Structure 1
């Protein structure tokens, strides 16, 4: 399995469509002698493999020696990329077209054809300007300055001034853009590491960090990308602070920005999809069901009607966001059993197609969502199975929050399933992990303490034991830091199910019906 995951060439070949494979064969065979070359024989073998296997390669192609394989793979990898580049649509990949014009312009310049070189630069600048590609636009302007200063009549002073001003403006815009994008990325990185603020120290740190690194700006003068990075940074700032009302405002502005710039949906489809997802995520946490359903229908409609550019990146995100929010819908409705029947089978069909391209973060989120869906349906065995996959993750610095709460749900699922023979050891393991991750809140302590004492409670006292824990935890439901536990784990609904002798599914379904009565 490790070879399968790590071999970049095999993974690249697996992502090729039928037309891309056919195009590569035509491209590689344009020179007749290539038909029998070692790299083409390697391609033919690898494209038929379901799992990467070097022994099979050597057996099928004895002309390839072990010491040659690395170089042949590198050459094949490069040739596939070249053939893919030739297939790229300039309309969908404007930056490739701009780069092509710049390359041609440099070739003409080296030939001494300065006017022709400048004409191509002008065409490239028009495209770069229309897509706000400021970094490459600066490169174009700098090359134009060099040509004008060295080879065109030096009497055109106004043109030099014009180019100089253009260059300064672009540098300022790039600096602002870079500051906002860096702030957004750094906040996202903090969230991936620790999740929501856990205490006053975290809150002060994130507020100070945001204020210090947010550049001064006039919202009316910001370009499309500057606004996009601003809304992203604001969203992550509010998200980490658990201020979901402000998250809703930032994510709404994010999606609205794209809806006001129709071309941007194809220009930056990944960002558009992410904006939609965070808007849906916020509505889920706010428990605004009707608005959630409306936005989710809009999202699916945009995907289906071709509004969004479909490529390898967007396919993965559409899969993740579609199934995450389908599961969230069943959470909100309390229709866990229906979700297991309708969502899980289709999810795994798609997951098997994309699993080798999903990063650990996305897989952890999916496993946690799946675990909670199974738990709500009463299937503790599968709950334990998928929580175990998260707990086995070796990347302790990734989504520490998710790893911590997976262990809490694991304790509950083990208790519910009757697998409590080693409960003391499991409790100690969970306790140690929380200490190790420096993620130790009052709510978590009370839950751990509850399980530690459960073995000393007589059967007729069990219900009162659950009531006591519920009454203790309800006090923290709106606490600025302690409430984060309830975002990951609906512990109150589970406690109510034990107290009222009902399934957790019925408890949540009754609450949903009550809250959504017209």
Structure 2
């Protein structure tokens, strides 16, 4: 992945479909450019490559080393222009901006009436789609034209444009404040992770309250409500308050269901809302509601009216397979769940250069957990190692819990050849974590002691650790740690001498009764 990221042009060309490549060549020929133009030769050469190699380009005299940077930049721009013209990449934002561009051209030619007619129609569409930023740009251009093109209705038009401008500016202010807050909270989650003490909690609440108290919910339109719900979801995720995360994730998705036209306009945020909703339903373990919501999500994203592009396909893939595996986890269906893995890996390869490393590794951790549940312990270790050996940017908690899964698999398989060395490495890793806590060190100590005990003494160690995990599960700041890998369910299965699947099925039955 790192290699692909080094050259954006290579990645862009490799992302093109056969039809997009054909259109690019047609577009170049329509320009009347000689078929031997250097940037077209460069396109053809890079298209043949499996890995980007600058020396091949220079050796074939397509470009000198000094000229290559400019040639690549020109080719990159021409590909983007070609893609912009492709109907498959047309969406309402591009269409709105295209109309705004047309109006600008007409204005510059002095064709004011024609420009105003396009602007008025485009503005109405922008307002219907809640695209207030574009609407404000349109109004600004209308003001410029009206100030030069005198009509008898100029007084009424002026008042109308001033009123619209003020209303949209206020809405844009709300949207800016809420989007800034949402982004800040999301950044906190990625940078520092979930709150681990009262001090962390106070810091998050200070960030949140400083912005949210300025917002009057009843004055919000669709976009502002969307950012409002996002901010609450991310705040409650940080605080590990899953009851409220569920509440606002549901409102986020329900906002789209109440405004179905916006699903077409904002497919990414519809998918993201469902991603959080389905994830929190998994954490709650309520299989009935989880499956019902998952079915509704699939029905909408596979409908003919749902927007289809590579970005959307990637997000649907991530949400679909993460949720599908989660459903198998909740039900304890590890054997049938593990049969999905070849299919998932095949699709992962398709999106390899588009998925960030953290989310890529989450899929591998889930695969490793699925193999563990289906008693394929060596395979579980193999997939877990893909995570801890990753050189990308992966959250510390994910890496730590992958190590715990490896220790569980080593214990079950009896493969303790490098057990002590792995314990030492895990302990060293925990000490280097930004915010290690008691759970991390207690878990390491448990596995360290376990390997030194005779089989008849291990049951007592499991019972002792089970009691500690009960205490951890009651602490709101440790609760999240028990969600990564169901270590508690595994410990309980040892204490009660039953298969871990039985523990999971009991949880599902309990959730259904409640």
Question: What's the TM-score once normalised by structure 1's chain length?
Answer: 0.92
How many angstroms does 1:311 deviate by? 0.7
Residue aligning to 2:74: 75
- Cα distance in 2, alignment partners of residues 207 and 64 from structure 1: 56
- The 8 Å contact of residues 116 and 142 in structure 2, kept in 1 or not, is answered as yes
How many angstroms does 1:287 deviate by? 0.8
2:416 alignment partner, SS class: coil
Q: 1:464 to 1:29 in 2, by over 3 A?
A: same
How many angstroms does 1:374 deviate by? 1.8
Residue aligning to 1:259: 257
Alignment of 1:360-439 (within 5 A): 360-394=357-391, 398-439=394-435
Residue aligning to 2:468: 472
Q: 1:63 to 1:51 in 2, by over 3 A?
A: closer
Residue aligning to 1:9: 9
Residue aligning to 2:83: 84
- The 8 Å contact of residues 179 and 215 in structure 1, kept in 2 or not, is answered as no
Residue aligning to 1:21: 21
Residue aligning to 1:504: 500
- The 8 Å contact of residues 265 and 307 in structure 1, kept in 2 or not, is answered as no
- CA deviations on 1:245-284 (whole Å, 9 max, x unpaired) are 2222211111111111121111000000111111111111
Alignment of 1:73-472 (within 5 A): 73-88=72-87, 93-152=91-150, 156-341=154-339, 343-394=340-391, 398-472=394-468
- The 8 Å contact of residues 383 and 413 in structure 1, kept in 2 or not, is answered as yes
- The 8 Å contact of residues 462 and 494 in structure 2, kept in 1 or not, is answered as yes
How many residues align? The count is 514
1:487 aligned to which of 483, 489, 492:
483
- Cα distance in 1, alignment partners of residues 338 and 249 from structure 2: 29
- The 8 Å contact of residues 180 and 215 in structure 1, kept in 2 or not, is answered as no
2:472 alignment partner, SS class: coil
**Following superposition, which runs of at least 4 residues in structure 1 exceed 6 angstroms of deviation?**
none
- The 8 Å contact of residues 285 and 511 in structure 2, kept in 1 or not, is answered as no
How many angstroms does 1:514 deviate by? 6.7
How many angstroms does 1:64 deviate by? 3.7
CA RMSD of aligned residues (A): 2.5
- Cα distance in 1, alignment partners of residues 101 and 412 from structure 2: 65
- The 8 Å contact of residues 496 and 507 in structure 1, kept in 2 or not, is answered as yes
Unaligned runs of 5+ residues in structure 1 are none
Q: 1:513 to 1:160 in 2, by over 3 A?
A: closer
- CA deviations on 1:146-201 (whole Å, 9 max, x unpaired) are 22224425983333233222222221111100111111122122222333221121
- Cα distance in 1, alignment partners of residues 251 and 482 from structure 2: 27
Q: 1:14 to 1:360 in 2, by over 3 A?
A: same
- The 8 Å contact of residues 194 and 399 in structure 1, kept in 2 or not, is answered as no
Q: 1:511 to 1:252 in 2, by over 3 A?
A: closer
How many angstroms does 1:371 deviate by? 2.0
Which shows bigger deviation, 467-476 or 439-448?
Answer: 439-448
- The 8 Å contact of residues 176 and 215 in structure 1, kept in 2 or not, is answered as no
Unaligned runs of 5+ residues in structure 2 are none
